[in-house]
Structure formats: structure tokens, C-alpha cells
């Protein structure tokens, strides 16, 4: 059996939200929704799991903080403790206030950049990546819902027609 999907196009985000709710309540699995802008509440309506990216960012921040503490301690206290303008360098704690700006910045740096890289990796984004756009209009003013067909083409088409879709296409994937 070929991999057939149905593409339903909408031209309004409110209609799209209602359609998503209807399709979900009819117990069909929505593969993907393509929208030109973030639609508030769409993830909840689709039943997507909340993102964990904030947690990764927190952990990356801790890594950055640890790195900054290790770096300042190794460079300024252990490796070559010079007397620079009378700053106390007998222990890391004695000179700690001077290291706080570095600690803060490195925490933010690690938290921000590693989180962004995580986001790129998880959402498979990189330069020269081929766009996965099923219909160019979805980057401008149309919304597209993609549902896999498992021999229930007629039923799905009539359901989607009821939801106010402006265009319904059945497409062979690959």
C-alpha cells in the first residue's frame, strides 16, 4: 500500500483550530499542521507534549556556571596566583566578587547558545537543508493540516469538508 496522506487547507486560524478539535474528537491522528505564524493554543488542541527545552537550558546554565568557577579558580588561584592590584588570591572565595561578572556571563552564554543549538538539532534545522514545505502558500496566508490515510479516504474527506477546508487534496507521499 502506498503512503497516502490527505492535505486540508484553511485560510483562517480560528477555522483551523475548530477543525483540529473536530478531527481530534473523531479520533484521527494529525500528522502535521503547517502555519505561516504561531497559532496560540494549537499545540494544546493537537495534544502535543510540552517542550523540555527550558529544562535543558537550566542544565546548560549550570554547566556554564561550573565552567566559570573552574576556569577562574584554575587560572587566577591555582596556576599563577599573582598579586594584581592587591586583590586577595589565597583562595577562590576571597576573590569571588571579582569573578561574579564572568560567572554570570558564562552561565547566560552557555544557557542561551546550547539551548539554541539544541533547538536546531531537535527541529532539524541547518543551512542548505531542503525545505519541507508541502505547499508554498502555508508560508504566506494558508494553513495546512496533514492526516495519514489508512483506507478511510472517503470518511476523512467528508469530515474535513465539514470543517470549512478551502481545499482538500489526496497525495501519494514518495
Partner 1 sequence: MYQFTGKLKTIALALMVIGAVGIISGFLATPSSVEEVKEHLHNAHNGHDAHAVAPAAHHEEAKAHDAHQEDHHAEAAHAEEGHGDSHAEHVFHQLKNRPWAAVYVALFFFFGVTLLVLAFNAIQRVAQAGWSIVLFRVMEGITGNLLPVTIILLVFLLLGSAHVHHLFVWMAEGTVDPTAANYDAIIDGKSWWLNVPGWTIRSIVYIVGWNLYRHLSRKASLAEDNETNLVSYRKNFKMSVAFLGFFLFTESMMSWDWIMSLDPHWFSTLFGWYVLATFMVSAVTVIAIVTVYLQSKGHLPFVNNSHIHDLAKFMFGFSIFWTYLWFSQFMLIWYADMPEETTYFVQRFEEYKLPFLAMIPMNFIFPILLLINSDYKRIPQFVIGAGVVVLLGHYLDVFVMIMPATVGGEWFIGIPEVGAILFFLGLFIYAVFSSIAKAPLLAKGNPFLHESETFHY
Residue numbers at the binding site for partner 1 (CB under 8 A)? 54, 58, 86, 97-98, 100
> CB-wise, 97 or 127, nearer to partner 1?
97
Q: What is the DSSP string of 131-165?
A: P--S-GGGGTT-EEEEEE-SS-HHHHHHHHHHTT-
Nearer to partner 1, 46 or 98 (CB): 98
Tell me whether residue 13 or residue 135 sits nearer to partner 1 (CB atom).
13
The Cα-based distances of 154 to 27, 111, 150, 157, 168 in angstroms read: 15, 49, 11, 5, 12
- Could you tell me the end-to-end alpha-carbon distance of the chain, in angstroms, rounded to an integer? 12
Please answer whether residues 83 and 48 qualify as being in contact, where contact means their C-beta atoms are separated by less than 8 angstroms.
no
Q: How far is the CB of 93 from partner 1 (least distance, A)?
A: 11
Q: Whole-number minimum distance, CB 104 to partner 1, in Å?
A: 9
- Report CA torsion sign: 98, 101, 107, 113: negative
Burial of 33 (0-12, 13-18, 19+ CB in 10 A): buried
In angstroms, what is the minimal distance from the CB of 23 to partner 1?
A: 24
86/151 with CB nearer partner 1: 86
| Helix 13-25 and helix 153-162, axial crossing angle in degrees, nearest 10 | 140
Rounded to a whole number of angstroms, the minimum distance from the CB of residue 24 to partner 1 is 21
The residue (of 98 and 168) whose beta carbon lies closer to partner 1 is 98
For residue 97, the minimal CB distance to partner 1 (Å) is 5
Amino acid at each position: 500500500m502506498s503512503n497516502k496522506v490527505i492535505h486540508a487547507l484553511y485560510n483562517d486560524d480560528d477555522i483551523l483550530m475548530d477543525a483540529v478539535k473536530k478531527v481530534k474528537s473523531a479520533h484521527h491522528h494529525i500528522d502535521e499542521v503547517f502555519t505561516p505564524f504561531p497559532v496560540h493554543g494549537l499545540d494544546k488542541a493537537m495534544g502535543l507534549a510540552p517542550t523540555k527545552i527550558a529544562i535543558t537550558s537550566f542544565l546548560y546554565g549550570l554547566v556554564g556556571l561550573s565552567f566559570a568557577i573552574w576556569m577562574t579558580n584554575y587560572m587566577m588561584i591555582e596556576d599563577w596566583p599573582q598579586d594584581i592590584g592587591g586583590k586577595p588570591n589565597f583562595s577562590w572565595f576571597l576573590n569571588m566578587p571579582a569573578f561574579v561578572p564572568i560567572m554570570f556571563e558564562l552561565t547566560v552564554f552557555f544557557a542561551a547558545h546550547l539551548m539554541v543549538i539544541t533547538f536546531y538539532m531537535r527541529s532539524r534545522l541547518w543551512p542548505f537543508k531542503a525545505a519541507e514545505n508541502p505547499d508554498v502558500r502555508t508560508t504566506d496566508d494558508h494553513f495546512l493540516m496533514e492526516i495519514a490515510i489508512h483506507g478511510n479516504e472517503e470518511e476523512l474527506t467528508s469530515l474535513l469538508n465539514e470543517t470549512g477546508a478551502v481545499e482538500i487534496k489526496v497525495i501519494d507521499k514518495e
